[in-house]
Amino acid sequence: MPELPEVETIKEDLHELVVGSIIEGVEVLDPSLVEQPALVEEFVRRLGGVQITGARRRAKHLIVELDSGDALVFQLKIGGQLLLVPPVEEPRTATMLVLHLDGRRRLFLRDQTGFTRARLLGPEELEARLSSLGPEPFGEGFTPAYLRERLGSRRAQIKPLILDQKVLSGVGNIYADEILYDARLHPRRKANTITGPEWEVLHAAIRENLAAGVEHRGTTVRLYRDVLDRPGEHQNYLRVFEKHGQPCPRCEGEVVREKVGGRPSHFCPGCQREEDGPGGGVALESLW
């Protein structure tokens, strides 16, 4: 599932390859893609003839800015891919949307799962859509104090809390497992048992793991590709995600996989203790 590093990579690709282009035509091949406006015909009409003026990311939302004042907002969900044709080969299956650009190029939205959704929003609609999201992990408002104040009194498990987009923007299941591994926090650890120094370590782990994911152009476990159909590289650096049954790279205990908050979670029981009290958190060691 595209998380912050994957959407950030796609955004940067769009900046380099697509911004400045004119949308000369629109084909909606799967009407379920379009959540807003209500009529697909209006979606197509409002996109025709406009220029792409920018691209940005907010949490896991990919926002394509248009000279009409509208924004084309994608949630790539589990398997959404935006592919520029040419230079990549035209997708033959699971295509949901085609944007015909000037210069005889086409931007394909492909999703084998069919879960990707798109919205065409005016400025006020976009602001309302994004208003409930938590701070960006690299923003000034995201600090250890913010984490402690927002979560420190909660009796909920820490993993579902850092997956909550109202608490923190952009973190999904892959990076959450890696973050908690670095912070030496069990995914079921109750937030109100986490100590002051552990909040510092958790904050550092969030930033470092996401920064590494961006540096490595995302994580391709199954479906993620960039705009030129290239896989990411960060899967080569994962320590626990989908490594169950393998030795922990830190203590050589066995990495396990269990459901936490309804999500498959990967962790080392030796390094990440479940009991309340200090979880053995230490200064974060960079492994990138």
CA–CA gap between residue 217 and residue 132 (Å, rounded): 27
Instruction: Out of 5, 6, 57, 60, pick the active-site residue.
Output: 60
Q: Answer yes or no: 197 catalytic.
A: no
In the residue annotation, 2 being an active-site residue is answered as yes
**Is 31 a known active-site residue?**
no
What secondary structure does DSSP assign to 38-84, as a single string? S-HHHHHHHHTT-BEEEEEEETTEEEEEETTS-EEEEE-TTT-EEEE
Locus of tokens 């959404």: 80
Rounded Cα–Cα distance for residues 272 and 194 (Å): 12
Q: Are 71 and 121 in contact (CB under 8 A)?
A: yes
Q: Does residue 60 have an active-site annotation?
A: yes
Of the candidates 3, 8, 65, 178, the residue annotated as catalytic is 3
Alpha carbon of residue 44 to chain centroid: 27
Angle at 117 between CA 231 and CA 131, to 5 degrees: 105
Name the phi and psi angles at 81, rounded to 5.
-130, 135
CA–CA separation, 279 and 199 (whole Å):
11
Catalytic residue among 249, 263, 273, 274: 263
Determine contact, residues 110/96, Cβ cutoff 8 Å: yes
Active-site annotation holder among 2, 5, 135, 160: 2
Cα 239 from Cα 242, distance rounded (Å): 9
What positions carry a catalytic annotation? 2-3, 60, 263
